Amino acid sequence: MTTETRQVFVELLLLAPYLDKHLSMVEDEALERALTAIGWSPTRPGDACLPTAFALVREAAANELKIDEFMRERTAIIRSAGESSLAFEWLGRILGSDGMSGTESYFLQRAESLLFS
């Protein structure tokens, strides 16, 4: 996985629980497993800086148009890198780890549509 793909993957993974307005301990553990699975490391030069990624996610979450643009951009990069299945799998694991709310279900359906269109 390229550094750019890993960066947008991390941002997309962070957006999912952010939109639900909470990150449960179970979701946090699933997120940590996802980051490990994609080879992300906070010490690897060029890997996503989580505070920067959270800032981008916060800005994107300001309104529906920004969320849509954010998701389209990131899923396009993930799709072109051939990582759609991996992204969808981890999004589902994170979002479903503590039960899936309506917001989380909608997000996952939207991500699926963008990742596999």
Q: Which amino acid is at 59?
A: E
pLDDT in tens, 16-48: 777 777 778 888 899 889 988 888 777 776 666
Contact indicator for 115, 88 with CB cutoff of 8 Å? yes
Give the orientation angle of helix 84-96 with respect to helix 102-115, to 10 degrees: 180
- Please state, in angstroms and rounded to a whole number, the distance separating the CA atoms of residues 92 and 87: 9
Task: Give pLDDT tens digits for 51-69.
Answer: 888 899 999 988 889 999 9
Q: What are phi and psi of 47, to 5 degrees?
A: -75, 155
Summarised one tens digit per residue, pLDDT across range 9-23 is 899 988 877 777 777
- Return the H-helix or E-strand segment holding 110: helix 102-115
